[in-house]
Amino acid sequence: MSAVQLLPYSPRLFVNREQELQMLEERVQALKEGRDGHRVLILSGERGIGKTWLRSHFEHQLSQERIPVVRLDLKEYAGKDPAWAVADILQRVSIETGGPRERLGADLAEMSRTVFRHLQKFLQQPLVVIVDHVYESDWALLPLLEDYLLGPLAAERRVLLLLTGRGRLYPWKNPELSTLAVPLGKPELEPFDPLFTKDQLKRQAPSQAHRADEIYELTGGNPLANYLVAAYSLDQAVEGLLEPVPEERRRTVREYLEALCVLRAFDEERIPDMLATYYDNDSYRQWTYARSRRVREELIRWGLARWDAEQRGYVMDRIVRQLIERYLQTQKPELWRRLHQTAYQLYQQWANNYPATRERWLEEAEYHRQRLQEYGSLPSRSENISAADRRIL
């Protein structure tokens, strides 16, 4: 299988996002005129929704207006000591705004004061600071970053802060970063509609533009998935979505995702049964809670799963789940059937074992029964939900 090449940003290939760009332009104009207003914006959304392209297009527009930009990517500091990381970030901000290159101070507090003394002179003009991968980063880093850089920046009238990332939003202490911050989206960046999907394919994969409706039905308008499905096989499209996962872990992570993709939500109790079916190896059913937790934590680490209060469990990234399940349906249909069958039987068992949550587990069992029915693979008659239980649903 040839390597998947993600399409690099280009202004001529960019489509849509007029509403978000207008909001950004309005905030930049307010900075130029020294007007008050929301100076912290949040750009969040699922994998492949277009955060990077929108941010890149915004930077392109700023460069044309000669407005200085400092962009910090917190992914670069993964696994690093938080205090060292913040010191390095302060150094970068100082250098990129023409400030001191060394000897900023003996500790973070002194370094921060030195940087902001310099910025008071620099901020005779507007400054845009973009912080990427905020919500996927180590939360041990964010309190220090808030105290010594982001909080003070949010108080500056000539600074616009754009925080990008996906996953659970961080609970900042500073109201400028939390309750007063404005999302670019409703509240996240939304997928393309069918018309914009077609426009995207005309620009980025013109030979496949005639498939726009078919591709939209599969991807739901996710821009990265639109391009990957148009340019590559479904197997390769999945690989492209998993690009953030280090190559040495990608195969294992993909197997975990394939095992869990049929579930609407998962947790440490559900992981062993699904892996046992996936690998056709009952020894996985003997896994401890701690071992299952490592699987769950790894999926969260790469931004492929998150806690969902409504589902009362962890849910896979929508587009990743959607494409992986379609891949199993079309390329490994027997495995797909067995995974749904396992989930159906597990929830039936839980409905019997846990009377207090019986309705919840019957609802989940019914979901899997219906999925199997859609593809002509119903559970055996003895495993069907009873008539009494159907009246509960």
pLDDT in tens, 207-264: 999 999 999 999 999 999 999 999 999 999 999 999 989 999 999 999 999 999 999 9
pTM of the model: 0.88
40-71, pLDDT tens digit by residue?
999 999 899 999 999 999 999 999 999 999 99
Which DSSP string corresponds to 203-271? HH-GGGGGGHHHHHHHHTT-HHHHHHHHHS-HHHHHHHHTTTS-HHHHHHHHHHHHHHTT-SSB-TTTH
The kind and range of the H/E element at 134 are none
Max Cα separation, the chain? 77
What percent of the chain lies above the pLDDT cut of 90? Answer: 83
Helical (H) or strand (E) element with 293 = helix 289-301
pLDDT at position 383 over 60: no
Better-scored residue on pLDDT, 303 or 392: 303
pLDDT of residue 103: 84
Please count the other Cβ atoms lying within 10 Å of the Cβ belonging to residue 172: 21
Tens digits of per-residue pLDDT, 269-321? Answer: 999 999 999 999 999 999 999 999 999 999 998 889 999 999 999 999 999 99
Beta carbons of 197 and 216 less than 8 angstroms apart: yes
Q: Which secondary-structure segment (H or E) carries 73?
A: strand 69-73
Please tell me the predicted confidence (pLDDT) of residue 65.
93
Q: pLDDT band at 380, cuts 50/70/90?
A: low
pLDDT of residue 389: 41
Whose tokens are 């749904």? That residue is: 340
Name which of 128, 146, 172 is nearest 39 in CA terms: 128
Residue 392, pLDDT above cutoff 80: no
- In the prediction, which pLDDT does 2 show? 62
The owner of tokens 């899997």 is 368
pLDDT above 60 (res 384)? no
On the question of pLDDT at 83 being above 80, the answer is: yes
pLDDT over threshold 80, residue 360: yes
pLDDT in tens, 128-140: 999 999 988 889 9
Mean per-residue pLDDT over the chain, rounded:
92
According to the model, what pLDDT value does residue 1 have? 54
Calculate what percentage of the chain has a pLDDT beyond 70: 95
The CA–CA distances, whole Å, from 196 to 201, 213, 216, 225 equal 9, 11, 10, 13
pLDDT at residue 386 in the model: 43
Q: Which helix (H) or strand (E) holds 83?
A: helix 82-96
The answer on pLDDT for 188 being more than 50 is yes
Q: Using an 8 Å Cβ cutoff, are 330 and 344 in contact?
A: no
Q: Rounded to whole angstroms, how far apart are CA atoms 198 and 137?
A: 34
For the chain, how far is it from start to end, CA to CA, in angstroms? 45
Look up residue 148 and give its DSSP letter: I
Report the distance separating Cα 316 and Cα 257, nearest Å.
Answer: 8
